[in-house]
Amino acid sequence: MLEGSILKKLYANHQNGKKPLNLGVYYKNTLVALCHALEDFILESDSEPLIISVFQKGKWYMQEAERYGEIAQKASQVAILGTSDSGFAEHPTGEMLNVSLVSMEANDPLTREWHLIILSPTYTAMVLCQELSESDYGNLGQPSNDLERKFYGFWTFEPELVWETAELVIAHIGSYDRELQEALTAKKGEMTVSFGFQEQEDLGEVVWRVVDYLQDTQQNISQPSEASYLPSSEALDNNLVSNEIQAFLRMAQLTDQVDVTNPNAAAEVTALAETMAHLLDLPAWQQKRLRLASWLHRLVQSMGTTAVSSPETAASCALSCTLDPGVQALRTRPELRAIAEIITHQTERWDGTGYPGGLAYDDIPLESRILALVADFQWQVNNIRLYQPAENDPYPSREETFSQALAECQAEANQAFDPKLIETLGLVVMGMQQGMDLQTSQPNITSGMWLLDSPTDQEAQLSASSQQT
């Protein structure tokens, strides 16, 4: 990372106890899709965000100047940084009252960076990347195709990270224009104060917009014309798919963060599910699917509670049930259809009275049965921990907490839950009561490609058959 760059400063800030950054490598075509998705959402939302963009060179800004004129009409303030070449300062967008251009010096480390920072009362978003140097490419050398240029960094919707980065960039702007620095600082303060007092519905919508744009870009690469064919299109394709998975994981993390009563649900459910999978000796590919489904299981908000009464309907529901928008977005990606099915059917019940399919017994996917049980157990444990006893009534011990939660689940055996899985959960609880700690950790979001070695449908069916015999 370049000395004096924003990425380097932010990285340094997070070396002393702060949450570490999830850094990864991104191709230019992925960053274009990400930024266009975030920028175009501004045109459709009702918020009036503060936008800070770093374009490296003026010529890259000129390719986007017209769309930034449209964006500026929806924004409260726009600050654009780039080198003063290719008519950077002459385009009409730069003359708009709420648009400020900052001409960077050629030796400024930000000329090697690509930033998009959006501060809104209803959501925050950021792309923060630094272009790889010639030496970083190694023996392969720098790519000849512009879309194959690589950048190192990350993107996020996390408010604290976005605000922290915005402060660093605004301070850097101060070295060029102190008056603009003061104006942006004031505007950032307004956004920070108002953030959270309005409905946060924009966040979910912008995540699905990101996924749509990444999928559209991936489709264009998968079906290239002779004129646009890229020899390394597979690498570009994989980078896009990885970022689609990242979008879902980031949404899941934010779902936990805004739940002040149960902020560690995804991590704890995942740890429980992984332990159950090991005890059940599930194959590696099935454990991977269960792990990702556990991280994403809270994407389901509401799918109704009406069970499907017809056995024929229930049998076909596994691939056709009405889905929550988040799960429907998962299904559009072939590699994630199995994950969507697991999450969809976590609300089924062992006795067939659940939803959305009214599936019963072994017709419910095994991963869905595991996920339903461990999610309920985690909720029970968390609920007991939150319980405020009366004065002089001691808090339940760790062992008592686990016993109470397990008892609640056992009461639903043969009704909500698979009785055999209840027995396995009992083994897990026994281990935890004897001091076993389940390791909970956040996923490495930038390493989303681990899912792509899932088995073929035929392999999955053979494995499922072997488990039932």
Distance CA 349, CA 353 (A): 6
The answer to the question of residue 418 being in a domain is yes
Between residues 423 and 135, the one the model is more confident about: 423
Of the spans 123-137, 187-201, 445-459, which averages the highest pLDDT? 123-137
Contact 291/325 with Cβ under 8 angstroms?
no
Q: Which of 216, 237, 257 is the last residue of a domain?
A: 257
The answer to the question of residue 401 being in a domain is yes
> In terms of domains, do 225 and 303 share one?
no
Q: What percent of the chain has pLDDT over 90?
A: 36
Between residues 247 and 125, the one the model is more confident about: 125
Classify strands 77-83 and 50-54 as parallel, antiparallel or unpaired.
Answer: parallel
Phi then psi for residue 224, to 5 deg, are -75, 150
CA 303 to chain centre: 21
Between residues 253 and 421, the one the model is more confident about: 421
Between residues 362 and 397, the one the model is more confident about: 362
Residue 308 has pLDDT above 70, yes or no: no
Strands (E), 28-112: 50-54, 77-83, 99-104
The answer to the question of residue 1 being in a domain is no
Contact 110/6 with Cβ under 8 angstroms?
yes
> In terms of domains, do 56 and 72 share one?
yes
Distance CA 167, CA 161 (A): 10
> In terms of domains, do 34 and 155 share one?
yes
Residue 360 has pLDDT above 70, yes or no: yes
Nearest-CA neighbor of 5 among 247, 218, 168?
Answer: 168
> Residue 219's domain spans which residues?
6-257
Tokens describing residue 291: 């792990």
> In terms of domains, do 295 and 221 share one?
no
pTM of the model: 0.68
Residue type, 323: L
Number of domains in the chain: 2
Residue 450 has pLDDT above 70, yes or no: no
Contact 346/371 with Cβ under 8 angstroms?
yes
Residue 443 has pLDDT above 70, yes or no: no
